[in-house]
């Protein structure tokens, strides 16, 4: 992290993007969250993503601006249709049922 801080001081702006913090193990997330205040104090702009189901993330980011990102059901359906058609060629009606079930369960993710 010292290397990042030293480099950041040479730049007019630096952005750090942390995607899918919810996918980290809790001990890894804890380490990352401990570093963020130092990075922010060094004028590094931080953009982080993660699902809302983890208390540690909700607590840490409670006073920061957030944007809720939700996938559109039509986009999910289109994505799944393409994938299922590649994997299940020749299964006719089953493909539609698989896509529908997965789309219904996606819950905006």
Residue 66: inside a domain, yes or no?
Answer: no
pLDDT per position as a tens digit, 9-61: 899 899 999 999 999 999 999 999 999 999 999 989 999 999 888 899 999 99
Residue ending a domain, choose from 23, 39, 60: 60
pLDDT recorded at residue 109? 64
Q: How many domains does the chain have?
A: 2
Residues 46 and 92 both lie in one domain: no
Residues 54 and 77 both lie in one domain: no
Residues 93 and 43 both lie in one domain: no
* Greater model confidence, 19 or 104: 19
Residue 32: inside a domain, yes or no?
Answer: yes
Residue 68: inside a domain, yes or no?
Answer: no
Mean pLDDT, range 63-79, rounded to an integer: 87
Question: By residue range, what is the domain housing residue 86?
Answer: 73-106
Contact 57, 21 (CB under 8 A): yes
pLDDT per position as a tens digit, 73-86: 888 888 888 888 88
Residues 10 and 40 both lie in one domain: yes
């Amino acid at each position: 992290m010292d290397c990042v801080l030293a480099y950041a001081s040479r730049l007019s702006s630096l952005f750090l993007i942390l995607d899918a913090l919810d996918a980290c193990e809790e001990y890894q997330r804890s380490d990352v969250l401990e570093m963020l205040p130092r990075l922010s104090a060094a004028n590094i702009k931080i953009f982080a993503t993660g699902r809302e189901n983890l208390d540690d993330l909700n607590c840490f980011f409670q006073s920061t601006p957030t944007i809720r990102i939700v996938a559109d059901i039509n986009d999910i359906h289109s994505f799944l249709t393409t994938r299922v058609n590649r994997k299940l060629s020749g299964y006719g009606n089953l493909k539609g049922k698989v896509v529908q079930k997965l789309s219904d369960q996606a819950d905006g993710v």
